[in-house]
């Protein structure tokens, strides 16, 4: 990807790509340490790391670079200025994922997700923990919309951030829309791609 951008635009994006992958790998390492030590983080610890490990910021940097816009240090630095926008979008993505995949991931012994963190550290039942996650998603949408209203960010980054959050909610609103081959998402994809439209 970096070579293609250098060839097409004469701009070296490697430092930006390396920085994003380093951040993402550090977040994965934190989760691996939690998993292997049996540690269940507090909700705040979990969310601080989860907003990175969900990959939203890394995805935004890659997508922005691949759009084919004129790339400069200033244009890529706008992503840093968009960090609150990307943070709230990433939080919506992570929490939506947690709501949709918690049961399956818990059964296979994955690292504790936000629901488990609430249950353990706040002493609430699963239903209450899920309710709190939904409230946090709603609050995050308000914060995301507030960032968008500032109107000082490039439209492409705003659209990518909105679409990431919207897509996550769509994929995970009826359970794990990625990790399973059954359910609502399978039916939606089949109706879009496989089942012919009657004439």
Q: H-helix or E-strand containing 119?
A: helix 114-122
The reported pLDDT for the residue numbered 89 is: 94
| Pair of tokens at residue 184 | 């609502």
The string of pLDDT tens digits covering residues 127-159 is 999 999 999 999 999 999 998 888 677 788 889
151 burial level (CB within 10 Å; 0-12, 13-18, 19+): exposed
Tell me how far apart the alpha carbons of residues 169 and 133 are, in angstroms, rounded to a whole number: 13
Q: Which two tokens stand for residue 51?
A: 């907003």
pLDDT at 184 > cutoff 70 = no
Q: Tens digit of pLDDT for each residue in 50-98? A: 999 999 989 988 888 888 777 777 777 777 767 888 999 999 999 999 9
Q: What is the mean pLDDT of residues 148-173?
A: 85
Check residue 123 and give left, alpha or beta (phi > 0: left; psi -120 to 50: alpha). left
Average pLDDT, the chain: 85
- At 178, the pLDDT band (50, 70, 90 cuts) reads low
- pLDDT value of residue 122: 93
Confidence of residue 42 (pLDDT cuts 50, 70, 90): very high
Prediction pTM value? 0.85
All residues at 6 or more sequence positions from 144 whose CB lies less than 8 Å from its CB, including other chains: 85, 88, 89, 92, 161, 162, 165
Task: Find where tokens 């790391």 sit.
Answer: 49
Q: Is the pLDDT of residue 23 over 90?
A: yes
Residue 5 reports pLDDT greater than 80 = no
Residue 104 pLDDT more than 70?
yes
């Amino acid at each position: 990807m970096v070579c293609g951008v250098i060839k097409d635009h004469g701009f070296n994006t490697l430092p930006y790509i390396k920085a994003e992958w380093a951040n993402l790998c550090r977040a994965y390492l934190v989760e691996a340490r939690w998993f292997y030590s049996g540690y269940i983080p507090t909700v705040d610890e979990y969310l601080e790391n989860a907003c990175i490990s969900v990959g939203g910021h890394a995805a935004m940097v890659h997508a922005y670079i691949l759009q084919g816009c004129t790339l400069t240090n200033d244009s890529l630095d706008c992503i840093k200025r968009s960090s609150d926008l990307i943070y709230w979008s990433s939080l919506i993505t992570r929490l939506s994922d947690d709501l949709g995949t918690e049961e399956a991931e818990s059964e296979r012994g994955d690292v504790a997700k936000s629901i488990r963190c609430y249950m353990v550290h706040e002493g609430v039942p699963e239903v209450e923990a899920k309710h709190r996650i939904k409230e946090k998603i709603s609050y995050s949408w308000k914060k995301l919309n507030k960032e968008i209203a500032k109107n000082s960010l490039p439209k492409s980054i705003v659209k990518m951030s909105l679409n990431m959050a919207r897509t996550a909610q769509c994929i995970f609103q009826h359970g794990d829309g990625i990790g399973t081959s059954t359910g609502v998402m399978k039916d939606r994809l089949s109706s879009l791609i496989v089942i012919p439209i009657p004439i």
